[in-house]
Amino acid sequence: MVNKMAGPKNLTPKQLMDQWRALPNKFDVNIWNFEVKAGKAAVSVFQESFYLRRFNSSGEFGWKERRKPRPYPILEETGSLKNSIKWKHLGTKCSKSAAGARIYTDPNGFQNTKRHRGFCYAAVHNAPDGTYTYGRTGVRSIQRQYIGHSTVLKNKLKELSPIIFDGFPK
């Protein structure tokens, strides 16, 4: 059993150098792992907006109801919009610097939908009210944001941030 009350451990310069020698590579691996977990967390947080029927961030209100009620929940006619939320690395695993992760809606997710076939209508719902019109009807769009800057995601990233220094000397 380790005595946590013990004082600092004396290290020789060689021991200190040996301890820190592998850390640059460890740091790159940790950053990569953080980006993977952060990307997956972002997709999860934004997909949860569909269950909440509001943007998944504190202080947000529910989405506006439809003008004409339908038998399925708002934005869940086929699930293609929710399932189109993806993430990818912006860099490569071999890169020397962290590059980050990109969260986006994949246009390929709309190829087989009955409505909006081949049209990535994600921007329609994230844009402010009235920015878009629907076809020949001229009906103005209603904002039902589901992706963007989220306090829920920010808190999740804070929880994940210790991963970056995992395995480093304390």
pLDDT tens digit sequence for 84-108: 899 998 876 666 565 789 999 888 8
Average pLDDT over residues 109-115: 72
Furthest C-alpha separation in the chain: 77
Q: Which residues pair with 62 in a beta bridge?
A: 54
The per-residue pLDDT for 6 is 61
- pLDDT per residue as tens digits for the range 38-90: 999 999 999 999 999 899 999 888 888 877 777 777 777 778 888 889 999 88
Confidence of residue 5 (pLDDT cuts 50, 70, 90): low
